[in-house]
């Protein structure tokens, strides 16, 4: 299913997007977001800057640049939060704008050894706590 940029969460940059996540930074070909729902401490998302439906639609150069951005974010998350593992999710069944969910997993944390939940709706932080996470990630991005 290919989505219309006029109806795309990331392209429209609307209230729905801002209710779900907070933009952290713009990288070479992507935007980085912190999920407001923080069951998985430090969970982020990297979305391609333009409306592209799938990774295979990018040129080799753009694909490599996007994956470099994804790796840059996971390295920052690893330094910032020291998770046991970071899970990558690229689900685009209903919203086919290219994006990766980056979900830190901890040995004694939720769903370790299994699939992460898309939106468990359990842990929401204060604005100050979200900002502290953002500052920590940003400090490790650069």
Task: Dump strand ranges (E) for 11-141.
Answer: 21-26, 30-35, 44-48, 85-89, 99-105
Q: Across residues 102-129, what is the average pLDDT?
A: 96
Is the separation of the CB atoms in 69 and 28 below 8 Å?
Answer: yes
Does position 70 have pLDDT exceeding 90, yes or no?
A: yes
Q: Across residues 84-108, what is the average pLDDT?
A: 92
The pLDDT value given to residue 1: 60
The pLDDT value given to residue 99: 96
pTM (whole model) above 0.85: yes
Does position 3 have pLDDT exceeding 80, yes or no?
A: no
Q: What percent of the chain has pLDDT over 70?
A: 99
The pLDDT value given to residue 97: 93
The pLDDT value given to residue 104: 98
Q: What percent of the chain has pLDDT over 90?
A: 89
**Residues in contact with 11: Cβ distance below 8 Å, sequence separation at least 6, in sequence order:** 5, 51, 97
Mean of the per-residue pLDDT values for the chain? 95
The pLDDT value given to residue 137: 98
What pLDDT, in 10s, does the model give residues 34-54? 999 999 999 999 999 999 999
Closest CA to 75 of 31, 42, 118: 42
The pLDDT value given to residue 91: 86
| Distance set, CA 32 to CA 70, 110, 130 (Å) | 9, 23, 14
Task: Say which CATH architecture domain 5-141 belongs to.
Answer: 2-Layer Sandwich (3.30)
DSSP-derived secondary structure letter, 53: S
DSSP-derived secondary structure letter, 13: T
Residue 88 host element (H or E): strand 85-89
């Amino acid at each position: 299913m290919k989505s219309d940029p006029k109806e795309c969460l990331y392209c429209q940059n609307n209230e729905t997007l801002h209710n779900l996540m907070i933009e952290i930074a713009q990288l070479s070909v992507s935007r980085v977001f912190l999920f407001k729902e923080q069951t998985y401490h430090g969970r982020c998302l990297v979305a391609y800057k333009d409306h592209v439906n799938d990774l295979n639609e990018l040129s080799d150069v753009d694909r490599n640049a996007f994956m470099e951005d994804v790796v840059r974010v996971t390295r920052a998350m690893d330094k910032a939060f020291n998770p046991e593992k970071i899970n990558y999710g690229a689900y685009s069944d209903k919203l086919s704008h290219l994006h990766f969910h980056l979900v830190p997993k901890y040995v004694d944390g939720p769903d370790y050894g299994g699939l992460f939940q898309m939106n468990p709706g359990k842990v929401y932080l204060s604005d100050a706590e979200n900002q502290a996470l953002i500052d920590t990630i940003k400090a490790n991005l650069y």
